[in-house]
């Protein structure tokens, strides 16, 4: 049905970047990248001191992916760790017959591969153009050995990730379709707010099918629930997302 999975990968000089300069290339990163990082304060890197940050910048590459580019693939040996700085990424697993479960959508500040596994247990691809901070596993681990505080922070982040996974298990296993959609939007609203977004306009760069595969529903059901929420005056649908009319109406509907 979908998933071209074409060989698209890195896009070197951003062709149609919608913001910022088109400068970032994997080679010769100046020491300032981390210090200037927009998402540092919300990411694992917030555990680092200025001088440690300089050391980290030395082993980091600023990379970009085009929309639909595959970032990691399930089963491949995990040689890379990413910290997303711009854009949206989906992580998922596919069953042999094509059924798909999307684990989550990564936003700016989120880490990909923070549990340092041998091989990735999921695939990930870019929904929008994505910019990320890339570390090779080997160099990152060497860096870690000298910075136990960072490992500690990483462990905390993994624990947070686990809590999110548990939240999602509750959602998948014990919530109705309406609660699922409302809960999804409420969660997204909260995450966007923490990284500096507003609480009213919620961009939805993913398709309805992505949302369905995240919530354990079908496209049609997701669509129906959206229009139901519109009829209840909880939100309106706008190009590229939704606008919340009664931001806390969602929490009531999410029930829990």
Contact positions vs its own copies (CB under 8 A)? 93, 95-97, 99-101, 103, 115-117, 121-122, 145, 148, 151-152, 154-156, 158-159, 161-163, 165-166, 168-170, 172-175, 213, 215-216, 255-256
Burial of 220-244, coded b for 16+ CB within 10 Å and e otherwise, reads ebbbebbeebeeeebbeeeeeebeb
- Does 101 bind DNA (CB under 7 A)? Our answer is no
Please identify which residue in 144, 164, 177, 201 interacts with DNA, judged by CB under 7 A.
Answer: 177
Complex with DNA: residue 1 or 27, whichever CB lies closer = 1
Min separation Cβ 195 and its own copies, Å: 21
Question: What are the helix (H) ranges across the chain?
Answer: 32-35, 50-58, 137-146, 148-174, 177-194, 208-215, 219-231, 249-254
C-alpha–C-alpha distance, residues 184 and 65, integer Å: 25
Please identify which residue in 32, 163, 176, 193 interacts with DNA, judged by CB under 7 A.
Answer: 176
Complex with DNA: residue 105 or 226, whichever CB lies closer = 226
Q: Answer with the entry of its own copies, DNA, none that 145 interacts with (C-beta below 5 to 8 A by kind).
A: its own copies
Please say whether the beta carbons of 89 and 106 come within 8 A. yes
Please identify which residue in 142, 163, 193, 227 interacts with DNA, judged by CB under 7 A.
Answer: 227
- Does 209 bind DNA (CB under 7 A)? Our answer is yes
Please say whether the beta carbons of 38 and 85 come within 8 A. yes
C-alpha–C-alpha distance, residues 110 and 39, integer Å: 9
- Does 207 bind DNA (CB under 7 A)? Our answer is yes
- Does 136 bind DNA (CB under 7 A)? Our answer is no
| Residue 251: strand, helix, or coil | helix
Binding site for DNA (CB under 7 A): 2, 176-178, 207-209, 216-224, 226-227, 237, 239
């Amino acid at each position: 049905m979908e998933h071209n999975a074409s060989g698209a990968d890195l896009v070197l000089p951003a062709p149609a970047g919608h913001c910022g300069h088109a400068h970032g290339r994997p080679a010769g990163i100046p020491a300032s990248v981390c210090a200037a990082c927009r998402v540092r304060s919300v990411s694992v890197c917030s555990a680092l001191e200025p001088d440690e940050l300089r050391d980290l910048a030395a082993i980091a590459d600023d990379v970009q992916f085009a929309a639909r580019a595959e970032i990691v693939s399930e089963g491949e040996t995990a040689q890379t760790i990413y910290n997303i700085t711009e854009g949206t990424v989906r992580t998922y697993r596919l069953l042999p017959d094509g059924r798909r479960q999307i684990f989550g959508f990564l936003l700016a500040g989120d880490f990909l591969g923070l549990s340092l596994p041998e091989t990735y247990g999921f695939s990930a691809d870019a929904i929008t153009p994505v910019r990320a901070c890339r570390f090779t596993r080997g160099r990152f681990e060497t860096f870690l050995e000298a910075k136990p505080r960072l490992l500690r922070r990483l462990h905390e982040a993994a624990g947070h990730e686990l809590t999110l996974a548990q939240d999602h298990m509750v959602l998948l296993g014990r919530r109705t379709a309406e609660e699922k959609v409302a809960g999804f939007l409420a969660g997204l609203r909260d995450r966007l707010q923490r990284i500096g977004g507003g609480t009213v306009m919620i961009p939805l760069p993913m398709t309805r099918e992505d949302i369905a595969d995240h919530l354990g529903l079908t496209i049609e059901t997701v669509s129906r629930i959206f229009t139901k929420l519109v009829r209840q005056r909880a939100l309106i649908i706008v190009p590229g997302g939704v606008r919340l009319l009664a931001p806390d109406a969602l929490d009531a509907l999410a029930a829990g």
